[in-house]
Amino acid sequence: MKTLNYFKVILLVIATAVVSCSTNTIDDTSGGNNGAELVLSVDKSTVYEETLVTFTVIDGVNDATSNAIISVDGVVITGNTFTMSGLGTKEITSTVGVATTNSIDVDVIEPSFTTKVLIEDYTGTWCGWCPRIAKGIEEVKDQTNGENVISIAVHNNDPMVFSLEAQMRGQLGVTEFPTGTINRNVIWQQATSNDMNTAEPLDLLTTIQSVGLSINSTVNGSSVDASIKVGFDLDVTGLKLVAVLLENGVIEPQLNYTSHWPVGMVTDFEHNDVLRSAFTDIFGDVIPAANQVGGGVYRVDLTTSIPVNSVQTNWSVVAFVVDADNKVVNVQKAAVGANVDFD
């Protein structure tokens, strides 16, 4: 019996040695990645042309990017960043030593939306130099692509006063009249005492924006109903929607010190783009994060009361998207009753 137990012990030792040898053989990856999975990723999977993207390679829990050889459509790149050019889908591959990562795609697309610019004109009929900005807006809109500059006149202490005008000035940093703001983050500069720098808003039209808007509105009894869509080319975050109702062709006396009209009180001055009411919070309603994705569209139906003593044919809706810093990303305008699609 003792002899039999002795042989059992010997057999157990031999079996343990065999198992240990087998385990060592499985772990030996011969220059691979220690058995961990290599994962290739990119910071942006959909981009416009000439956009810089950054690639990362993770070896299990460790960053192996510095040891990776990365290729775009089969061509090895230097480092882990690359400026995408040429429309279409680009295949990205990578190796670390003799190990190969997964492959990923980056889509290079054309912009879907026209970039437009918003000017908000802080004005009043009592302000003699305020017509300078009104004239500047006319001159901007008369220039090439000027139709893509959209204006809102925010009146102070006159028959066209907007009830939230003081809050707007306070939050957006407006301290004097006249003041024109461009995209809610730049003060429009004057060229002379009579004229504005018309190139300043037009220069911003060359900036590509990944968000666009469409507007469809109707009159419904004593209110205006607006269906607004926000389209997204790329993934974004932190955006809000602002929508307002404007009136054009309002005739009210205007004090004028500029050379563009007779100096003094101009009794038949035509006021356009007058801010009358808001469909949303004047600083924006939050767009749900789940809707701010490339290829997605966010739609919202809004309503506001019809202004008293205004003419229906002179109304228009302006909708714009602002970012977390209150900067306007893009803007759209449509006459009430008209359907203006993404452009």
The reply to whether 98 and 144 lie within a common domain is no
Shared domain for 209 and 72, answered yes or no, is no
For residue 19, is it within any domain? no
Q: What is the pLDDT of residue 265?
A: 98
> Are 323 and 188 within one domain?
yes
Query: Is residue 5 assigned to a domain?
Result: no
Q: Is the pLDDT of residue 16 over 70?
A: no
The pLDDT score that the predictor gives to residue 14 is 39
Q: Is 72 a domain residue?
A: yes
Do residues 102 and 126 both lie within one domain? Answer: no
Element (H, E) at 329: strand 328-335
Nearest to 46, CA basis, from 90, 108, 89:
108
Taking the alpha carbons at both ends of the chain, their separation in whole angstroms is: 94
For residues 123 and 94, state if they share a domain: no
Q: Which of 80, 109, 138 corresponds to the end of one domain? A: 109
Calculate what percentage of the chain has a pLDDT beyond 90: 85
Give pLDDT, residue 19: 40
Clarify whether residues 135 and 181 are in a common domain: yes
Query: Would 330 be classed as within a structural domain?
Result: yes
Among 7-16, 196-205, 227-236, the minimum mean pLDDT is found in: 7-16
Quickly state the pLDDT bin for 310 (edges 50, 70, 90). Answer: confident
Quick check: 208 pLDDT over 60?
yes
Domain that holds residue 93: 38-109
CA atoms within 13 Å, Cβ hemisphere of 237: 0
Comparing 97-106, 251-260, 278-287, 303-312, which segment has the lowest mean pLDDT? 303-312
- How many alpha carbons fall within 13 Å on the CB side of residue 190? 17
* Together in a domain, 99 and 203: no
Least confident of 30-34, 55-59, 62-66, 249-253: 30-34
Instruction: Calculate mean pLDDT across residues 194-198.
Output: 97
133 occurs within a structural domain: yes
Average pLDDT of the residues in 108-123: 97
Q: What is the pLDDT of residue 33?
A: 52
- Co-location of 105 and 140 in the same domain: no
Does 7 reside within a domain?
Answer: no
Does residue 32 lie within any of the structural domains? no
Q: Mean pLDDT throughout 137-141?
A: 98
Q: Work out the average pLDDT over 108-128.
A: 97
Query: Over the chain, what is the mean pLDDT?
Result: 90
For residues 48 and 155, membership in a common domain is answered with: no
What is the pTM assigned to this prediction? Answer: 0.85
Q: Higher pLDDT residue, 1 or 114?
A: 114
3-state secondary structure of 38: strand
240-254: pLDDT as tens digits: 999 999 999 999 999
CATH assignment of the domain containing 222: 2.60.40.10
Regarding whether 82 and 160 lie in a shared domain, the answer is no
Q: For position 27, what pLDDT does the model report? A: 34
Q: Is residue 21 part of a domain?
A: no
**Among candidate residues 109, 127, 156, the one where a domain is terminated:** 109
- CA dist 158 and 254 (Å) reads 10
How many structural domains comprise the chain? 2
State the Rg of the chain over Cα.
31
Tell me, yes or no, whether 121 and 105 share the same domain.
no
Mean pLDDT of 276-289: 97
Is there a contact between 331 and 212 (Cβ–Cβ < 8 Å)? no
Q: Are residues 141 and 281 in the same domain?
A: yes
- Name the residue with higher pLDDT: 12 or 302: 302
Question: What pLDDT is attached to residue 308?
Answer: 79
Among candidate residues 53, 85, 109, the one where a domain is terminated: 109
Mean pLDDT check: name the lowest of 15-24, 79-88, 195-204, 236-245: 15-24
pLDDT for residue 25 is more than 50: no
Instruction: Give the residue among 113, 198, 120, 114 at the shortest CA–CA distance from 154.
Output: 120
Instruction: Read off the amino acid at residue 61.
Output: V
**Greater pLDDT, 31 or 321:** 321
Asked if 212 contacts 153 with a C-beta cutoff of 8 angstroms, the reply is no
